[in-house]
């Protein structure tokens, strides 16, 4: 038996792998701080949706997915610093490497969001 299925006391959130495909745990509403945080992220999605409707950025990627990807691009460096060091061969926290990463994230974000050849 999967660990989560045998331990229902573990808090399950919507989108949890056990939720996919009609898992045993019904989605729970977000409570307290999570509801406030969720509303703030939803507001960010709405800003991206408006920019897409107005033609400022591409609508090729749905706004919620685009925001998720942009957050991932920016945050993943600090989530797996050892991998970042392995790949770049540079100290993860050096000012030069942080600047280099930022430039790459900005370029990648532009490539994801800007309109190309339309």
Q: What angle do CA 45, 49, 51 make, to 5 degrees?
A: 115
Tell me 15's DSSP state: T
What own/partner pairs with CB < 8 Å and gap ≥ 24 does 46-49 have?
Answer: none
Q: Rounded to whole angstroms, how far apart are CA atoms 103 and 15?
A: 32
Distance CA 49, CA 40 (A): 14
pLDDT at 3: 46
Q: What is the pTM of this model?
A: 0.69
- DSSP letter assigned to residue 26: P
State the pLDDT at residue 48. 97
Max alpha carbon distance in the chain (Å)?
Answer: 52
Q: What is the pLDDT of residue 35?
A: 84
- Find tokens 């591409």 and name the residue: 58
Task: Tell me the CA distances in angstroms from 56 to 36, 59, 62, 70, one per residue in order.
Answer: 28, 9, 14, 17
pLDDT in tens, the chain (118 residues): 444 445 554 454 545 544 444 555 566 666 678 888 899 999 999 999 999 999 999 999 999 999 999 999 999 988 999 999 999 999 888 999 999 999 999 999 999 999 876 5
The DSSP output letter for 27 is P
At residue 65, the pLDDT reads 97
* Residue ranges covered by each domain of the chain: 33-113
């Amino acid at each position: 038996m999967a660990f989560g299925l045998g331990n229902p006391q573990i808090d399950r959130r919507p989108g949890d792998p056990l939720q996919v495909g009609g898992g045993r745990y019904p989605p729970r509403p977000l409570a307290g701080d999570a509801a406030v945080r969720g509303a703030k992220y939803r507001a960010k999605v709405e800003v991206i949706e408006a920019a897409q409707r107005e033609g400022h950025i591409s609508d090729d990627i749905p706004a919620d997915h685009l925001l998720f990807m942009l957050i991932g691009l920016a945050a993943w460096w600090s989530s797996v610093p050892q991998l970042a060091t392995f790949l770049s061969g540079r100290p993860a926290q050096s000012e030069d490497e942080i600047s280099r990463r930022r430039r790459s994230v900005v370029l990648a974000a532009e490539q994801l969001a800007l309109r190309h050849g339309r």
